[in-house]
Amino acid sequence: MARSGDRRDGPVNNAQHRDSASGRHLAGEEALSLKKLVYFTTLVETGSFSKAAVALEVAQSSVSRVVKSLENDFDVELLYRNGRGIILTDAGKLLDGYARRILDLVTTTQNEVCALGDTPIGRVIIGLPPSVGRVLTLPLVRQFRMAFPKMNLKVVEAHSGHVLEWLSSGKIDVAVLYSAPKSTMMVAEPLVEESLYLIGSPTGAGQPSGVSVSIADLARFPMVMASLPHGMRVLVEKHCAEAGVSLNVECEIDAMPAVIDLVEAGVGFTILPYAPVHDLIKHGRLRLWKIDNPPIKRQLLLVTSTQRPMTLGTRHLARMVRTQVKELVAEGLWSPPDCLSHDGQSNPTSLTT
């Protein structure tokens, strides 16, 4: 905001002195410049001036000047500093919320307008759980890059609960997950239904004698599993509780690759779908047993938010997810062949149309 006597800002606008209301209006417009909003939201995300400066690749003093400028423009304190970072005032929280909506709208506008050209450009983000990422990420990224070389695809992996939270907050455009609440704020489309299996080392001790186990049998095996409230753990615990069975979980690991490595080393057993371990099973490094009485099944969903514009890039990405899941199902990556499972059941059928 221009001040009398501040030579760095150039000549003072006399009209602003004559009309303070007009001056405040012009200052407000300047305050909402995209650069200032980006600086402020980055500061809020990182939680400190030093981290924001690193993320923005600018000097820390530049971030401080922008915040001070915003406070001067709006004539209100936006945050407090403390020894551990920053604390937003009510005004700061309000500005952060509006700033994110403005920046999101600007990005959407740019992507939508550019996407109408011959070669779509822009950025889309998909979130999915690790069990899906192990089979879907490679073919999806490969096909997307070939079809839309000027678009940027970002893939983030996390448990379904985190992916759902990211979708709700607008951090991702498309989600692939295993459970979604019924809500008018989201559209969930079933992709495929899959069974869960007991997975173990082919040379480990204490293996089941047959080709299948019941829910009651699961209590006999030392388990390596993700901790609660991981979605798969919740599902398995629910089925066990209904059968009056307590799992013997000896090791909790919230990283699927580590769980698989430990099981392959014979540390214990785990419960997983076939897809993320199909290659290890086919090469004899892991073995599976069907779970029955009753079986444990879950449904994979494609989810988008009704609170965000459905950009052309988002539609392209969602369509590719459907196509890739269909192809993976047809290739037998979502269900073991009969020679492995010995259950006489056919491969699952994709639920997409």
- Residue 9 pLDDT: 41
Rounded-to-10 torsion of CA 70, 72, 73, 76: 80
- Residue 19 pLDDT: 40
Q: Residue 82: which residues within 8 A CB-CB, separation 6 or more?
A: none
Place of tokens 């897809």: 275
DSSP β-bridge partners for residue 253: none
The CATH code belonging to domain 122-190+302-329 is: 3.40.190.10
- Residue 94 pLDDT: 93
The CATH code belonging to domain 13-112 is: 1.10.10.10
How far is residue 217's CA from residue 206's CA, in Å, rounded to a whole number?
Answer: 12
DSSP reduced 3-state for 211: coil
Q: For residue 274, report the phi and psi dihedrals to the nearest 5 degrees.
A: -75, -35
- Residue 16 pLDDT: 39
Q: Are strands 297-305 and 186-200 parallel, antiparallel or unpaired?
A: antiparallel
Residue ranges of the domains in the chain?
13-112, 122-190+302-329, 192-298
Q: Are strands 122-128 and 151-157 parallel, antiparallel or unpaired?
A: parallel
Q: Is omega for the bond preceding 294 within 30 degrees of 0, making it cis? A: yes
- Residue 113 pLDDT: 74
Q: Are 16 and 26 in contact (CB under 8 A)?
A: yes
The H-or-E segment that residue 138 falls in is helix 130-147
Classified by CATH at the fold level, domain 192-298 comes out as D-Maltodextrin-Binding Protein; domain 2 (3.40.190)
Same CATH fold, 192-298 and 122-190+302-329? yes
- Residue 159 pLDDT: 85
Write a three-state SS string for 59-88. Answer: CHHHHHHHHHHHHHHHCCCCEEEECCEEEE
How far is residue 57's CA from residue 44's CA, in Å, rounded to a whole number?
Answer: 16
How far is residue 232's CA from residue 159's CA, in Å, rounded to a whole number?
Answer: 9
- Residue 114 pLDDT: 67
Task: Encode the chain (353 residues) as per-residue pLDDT tens digits.
Answer: 444 344 334 444 443 333 433 344 444 445 468 889 999 999 999 999 999 999 998 999 999 999 999 988 889 999 998 878 899 999 999 999 998 888 888 877 776 676 666 566 778 899 999 889 999 999 999 999 888 888 889 999 988 888 988 998 888 999 998 877 787 888 999 999 999 999 999 987 888 888 889 999 999 999 999 988 888 888 999 999 998 999 999 999 988 899 999 999 999 999 999 999 999 998 999 999 999 888 999 999 999 988 777 777 888 899 999 999 999 988 888 888 764 544 333 334 444 44
Q: What is the identity of the amino acid at 340?
A: L
State the chain's maximal CA–CA distance in angstroms.
91
- Token readout for 311 is 């950009």
Q: Residue 72: which residues within 8 A CB-CB, separation 6 or more?
A: 1, 27
Instruction: Pinpoint the alpha helices (H) of 178-277.
Output: 231-242, 256-264
